A and B are shown apart, each in its own frame.
Chain A
């Protein structure tokens, strides 16, 4: 429940980002050089990275942009990319997995090799390469989601395939065949419901993984472009400041950690709720 509450809170924060910024009275892109101590190389004045009534979580070193505003706007990018990528992965993965599980021996052979290829490829390198070659005109968050999907749909496909293969041996699938149902109908009506539990769990685990991917890509400079904020990008700039201004590292890092933990706890909760042996209790 705590996991669910935290995840919901994060999504709410992301959705309400402009509103929250309006309440604070700041926006994520305005520079506040007056708040910085130029003698110390641009570290904010005051303790904890310049925390004050105006700037709830302080300001960025070197630029003086409001950290709270950047973090809540960054949540939009981080969560949006992670959720978007997860949904896309599920779509691609289920389609390929069911195709492999139901399409007969030859389709299975081809699709399985494709899945293995995608799993065996060093995905981060591929993602970096893809980010470099695709046209720059595409919106970066959407591009990020697509790239993350392109390198990590294999897991979903493999889980779907193996589940489909084991479920299609059940008597109730035979019973459906006996009624004259087509394979596509059997796949959707009889097998897909049995896949929801493992796939939901996988999806809940995939969200944090994708957040990490996004953060990693942004950290390496291949993610969203400044001035658009994202947690990974904030962490990236914070690495040079962590001694002088620890608050700036702790805020995005801590949020990333909290969200990942919440997602994982949620995944476990989903697994228990979907497992008939637990009788739906969580």
Chain B
């Protein structure tokens, strides 16, 4: 079958920096090509260049979409091409829709611009495509505004918008990265169905090998702008040829791999949480509603163990993490830490206990003060608690987490994401805490960096006899690090058991659906026999 998208020796450079270095591939109708790579690998630039959305970049090579040369097409033809024959779905469904326009109208407008159809016909088409992508009650939902849609529904609406003109090629740049696993599974299934029905070709860009494995026929591995490997998904997964692909695959946390055995902890609980509750009040003054973010949670954490807390967005896991370290005041309930009741303790007395309770934050970009040298950030807790020689100790801590102590005076923007997270860990460990709460500590990082940070945390845990609470939406990561796992949904813990029990024989239906939705690396397991 002849290719609907043909790319030859594509090079994209910004200023002197070459982001994509000579990539070539063909995409036939109805087929799906996955482009996988870590941040900075050039995968988003590659996707954008296919629609000539790379403003200010120098593009050479050949890009042909359904017979049209994208690189040299004049502006009017390019406009017809975009949307008409090649459409794009972006990562963030929230910022890709206009919040002031009804969803149906936005879709109808795209259709009208390209086909010159009447308002009525366009509106009918909008309802039709919304229905097609699985938006229930499409007729009514077309009249809703984007904020009335959930994240998954918004992404469906964007896909519907892209589909309205029946494009030959759909470019999806990280279409499910902002979504929960169960929603991700639905969107990926939708893309696969659409491909089979309409014969549309799909270029799926993702940092997640699991997503590609389940939804693409072929995979292109990008590293530093170069295609280091290209082949059928099953082959690449089974026998990766490039060493980079092997490293990348090895770094991916496997939900199906057993955790390295650790001696079971059966000690006294260090932390005991009883019927903890936190309400948030929202809405206008007269119609105030209280929403329980954490709704009566009871658990304990044993000395030296790692308790994993998993859940989808909005499940209350981050609120729980912040309650435990008293960054948030609980509405009711009890938090006992090593015999002290934290829940009612005044801030003044709490300050002395703070040294035993520390936290590692999700976004290493915002958890370090951008205007202060990183060494100061690490030394500060020591200074506050009146420790001697804080600067010297901070240098030692930087060295311990694998950074050059000579970089004490550098500012956060001079470090990579992984390095910043190391600094965040160094700061949290400065006071030699006994309980460390990690709120999505590796979510913002690439898989290989993620693996390095997890190893560091594990080493430090053994070395310092740390007790960890590890909050994450990523089930595979949680399986790798936890002794026991708590599954949260709507502010409650629905299941709490040993890691292997939760993952191998989950008791709760929600846990089972969560596990089923996780993309698996083995394509044979996904496609079935």
Q: Which residues of A line the B interface, CB within 8 A?
A: 170-172, 174-182, 185, 189-190, 193-194, 196, 276
Q: Cβ of A185 and Cβ of B384 under 8 Å apart?
A: yes
Chain A contacts for B361, CB-based, 8 A: 171, 174-175
Chain B contacts for A175, CB-based, 8 A: 359, 361, 367-368, 377, 424, 427-428
Chain B contacts for A180, CB-based, 8 A: 350-352, 354-355, 381, 384-385
Q: Cβ of B372 and Cβ of A193 under 8 Å apart?
A: yes
Q: Does B286 contact A (CB under 8 A)?
A: no
A169 CB to nearest B CB, Å: 9
Q: Cβ of A172 and Cβ of B366 under 8 Å apart?
A: yes
| Known interface pairs A171-B363, A276-B413; A179-B369 also in contact (CB < 8 Å) | no
Chain A contacts for B363, CB-based, 8 A: 171
Q: Does B261 contact A (CB under 8 A)?
A: no
Give the docked Cα–Cα distance between A193 and B427 (Å).
19
Q: Cβ of B384 and Cβ of A177 under 8 Å apart?
A: no
Give the docked Cα–Cα distance between A182 and B322 (Å).
18
B439 CB to nearest A CB, Å: 9
| Known interface pairs A175-B427, A179-B380, A180-B381; A276-B370 also in contact (CB < 8 Å) | yes
| Known interface pairs A185-B384, A189-B380, A276-B413; A178-B325 also in contact (CB < 8 Å) | yes
Q: Cβ of B327 and Cβ of A177 under 8 Å apart?
A: yes
Instruction: Tell me the B339-397 residues at the A interface (CB within 8 Å).
Output: 350-352, 354-355, 357-359, 361-363, 366-372, 377, 380-381, 384-385
B356 CB to nearest A CB, Å: 10
A sample of 13 inter-chain contacts (CB < 8 A) reads A170-B367, A171-B363, A172-B367, A174-B327, A174-B359, A175-B359, A175-B361, A175-B424, A178-B358, A180-B352, A180-B354, A181-B380, A193-B371
Known contacts A172-B366, A190-B369; 17 additional CB pairs below 8 A are A170-B367, A171-B362, A171-B366, A174-B327, A174-B367, A175-B368, A175-B377, A176-B384, A178-B325, A178-B327, A178-B354, A179-B385, A180-B351, A181-B384, A189-B380, A193-B372, A194-B370
B386 CB to nearest A CB, Å: 10
Q: Which residues of B line the A interface, CB within 8 A?
A: 322, 325, 327, 350-352, 354-355, 357-359, 361-363, 366-372, 377, 380-381, 384-385, 413, 424, 427-428, 430-431
Q: Cβ of B359 and Cβ of A178 under 8 Å apart?
A: yes
For the A-B complex, the count of residue pairs with Cβ-Cβ distances under 8 Å equals 72
Q: Cβ of A171 and Cβ of B384 under 8 Å apart?
A: no
Give the docked Cα–Cα distance between A194 and B427 (Å).
20
Give the docked Cα–Cα distance between A194 and B413 (Å).
15
Interface centre among B350, B369, B377 (most CB of A within 10 A): B369
Q: Cβ of A170 and Cβ of B366 under 8 Å apart?
A: yes
A247 CB to nearest B CB, Å: 49
B331 CB to nearest A CB, Å: 17
Interface centre among A174, A178, A193 (most CB of B within 10 A): A178
CB nearest neighbor in B for A185:
B384
Give the docked Cα–Cα distance between A177 and B329 (Å).
13
Give the docked Cα–Cα distance between A151 and B391 (Å).
45
Give the docked Cα–Cα distance between A189 and B430 (Å).
18
CB nearest neighbor in A for B365:
A171
Chain A contacts for B359, CB-based, 8 A: 174-175, 178
CB nearest neighbor in B for A181:
B384
CB nearest neighbor in A for B351:
A180
Chain A contacts for B413, CB-based, 8 A: 276
B303 CB to nearest A CB, Å: 21
B196 CB to nearest A CB, Å: 44
Chain A contacts for B351, CB-based, 8 A: 180, 182
Q: Cβ of A179 and Cβ of B366 under 8 Å apart?
A: no
A51 CB to nearest B CB, Å: 51
A36 CB to nearest B CB, Å: 59
Chain B contacts for A172, CB-based, 8 A: 366-369, 377
